Amino acid sequence: MNPPGSTPGTLLAPGLRSALLGLGLAILTILYGQGMGVFFGLNEEAIQNQLKTSAAAVRLTAYNGDDAAIKVVLGNAWNFIRRAHLHAGGMGTTAFALMLVVGFLNPPRLAAWLIGIGLGAGGLGYSAFWMWAGLRAPGLGGTKAAKESLRWLAMSSSGAFVVATLAVLVLLIIAMVSRPRKDSPKN
């Protein structure tokens, strides 16, 4: 909490201030995951029925009338949707924690901003990929087709997340080797 009369956010570390957009995206990702959990809990049957309706619309063209294949795709599609929920919680929380580390390391503003965007948008995008792939799979005749149609989203978002995570590791290594430890003997 800021002291009375001060401007909100003035006590933020400069590195953290630069990552605020990424922090916002990380929180949005966490809320997306929580929202999915609530929505699933209230509407699981409706979601399952919508997936079945999508598959039934292409039963003859995409599945050649194979009801066993439809059942497999419906199960996998539901697993993808649940995977979106899990990824949103895990990646959103990881992004938030790593951006706090960035704030403590206080890198150049552009580096903090880019890392924040990579982590925040990467986590949100990759979670959205799994949800979208799960919703598209029954109507496309399989999960492979759904994943391939969204490859651009999966690769860009997961890639941004991994590169940003590696950047945090590099910043941490730089901080470890460039700052003398207080407990090291003085020469």
Assigned domain for 95 exists: yes
Residue 187 has pLDDT above 80, yes or no: no
Q: Kindly report the number of other CB atoms within 10 A of residue 162's CB atom.
A: 14
Q: Which of 95, 63, 80, 90 is nearest to 149 (CA)?
A: 80
Assigned domain for 14 exists: no
Q: Residue 171 is part of which domain span?
A: 27-176
Assigned domain for 120 exists: yes
pLDDT in tens, 130-168: 999 999 999 999 999 999 999 999 999 999 999 999 999
Q: Which residues of 89-98 are buried (b: 16+ CB within 10 A; e: fewer)?
A: bebbbbbbeb
**Amino acid letter, 167:** A
Higher pLDDT among residues 24 and 6, named by residue:
24
| Confidence at residue 120, expressed as pLDDT on a 0 to 100 scale | 97
The model's pTM: 0.86
Assigned domain for 185 exists: no
Assigned domain for 156 exists: yes
pLDDT in tens, 110-138: 999 999 999 999 999 999 999 999 999 99
Give me the residue label for tokens 């941004």: 160
Residues 99, 102, 105, CA angle at the centre, nearest 5°?
Answer: 160
